[in-house]
Amino acid sequence: MHIQPVILCGGSGTRLWPLSREQYPKQLLKLAGDHTMLQATALRLQGLPLAEGDVLLKPLLVGNDEYRFLIAQQLQEVGIEHAPLLLEPCGRNTAPALTLAALVAQAESALAEREADPLLVVMPADHVIQDGDAFQRAVLQAAAIAANGKLVTFGIRPNAPETGYGYIKLGSALAQPDAFLVERFVEKPDLETAKGYLQSGQYLWNAGIFVMQASAWLAKIEQCRADIAAATLQAFEGRRQDRDFLRPDGEAFAACPSDSIDYAVLEKLASSERNTGEVAVVPLDAQWSDLGAWNALWEIGSKDAAQNVFMGDVLSVDTRNTLAISESRVVACVGLDNIVVVETPDAVLVADKERIQEVKGVVAQLKAQQRSETQAHRKVHRPWGWYDSIDSGERFQVKRIVVSPGAALSLQMHHHRAEHWIVVSGTARVTRGEETFLVGENESTFIPLGTLHRLENPGKLPLEMIEVQSGSYLGEDDIVRFEDTYGRAP
Provide the pairing of β-strand 85-88 with 60-64.
parallel
Q: What is the pLDDT of residue 124?
A: 96
Long-range pairs for 377-380: beta carbons < 8 A, 24 or more residues apart: 377/21, 377/24, 377/344, 377/345, 377/346, 378/344, 378/345, 378/346, 379/345, 380/23
What is the band of 164 on the pLDDT scale with cuts at 50, 70, 90? confident
Q: What is the pLDDT of residue 431?
A: 97
pTM value is 0.91
Q: What is the pLDDT of residue 33?
A: 87
Encode pLDDT of 394-426 as tens digits.
999 999 999 999 999 999 999 999 999 999 999
User: b vs e for 393-403, b when ≥16 Cβ sit within 10 Å of the residue's Cβ?
Assistant: eeeebebbbbb
Q: What is the mean pLDDT of residues 159-178?
A: 89
Separation CA 303–CA 184 (nearest Å): 37
Task: Provide the mean pLDDT of the chain.
Answer: 93
Encode pLDDT of 372-386 as tens digits.
899 889 999 999 999
* Domains annotated on the chain, with CATH: 2-289 (3.90.550.10), 294-368 (no CATH), 379-483 (2.60.120.10)
Q: What is the pLDDT of residue 446?
A: 98
CA distances, 438 to each of 382, 444, 459, 467, 481 (Å)? 22, 10, 11, 16, 22
pLDDT of residue 343 exceeding 90, the answer is: yes
Bigger pLDDT: 320 or 117? 320
Q: What is the pLDDT of residue 274?
A: 66
Q: What is the mean pLDDT of residues 331-344?
A: 98
Using DSSP's 3-state secondary structure scheme, residue 375 falls into coil
Separation CA 312–CA 199 (nearest Å): 40
Q: What is the pLDDT of residue 86?
A: 95
What is the band of 2 on the pLDDT scale with cuts at 50, 70, 90? very high
Tell me which residue of 90, 92, 95, 62 sits closest to 260, measured CA to CA: 95
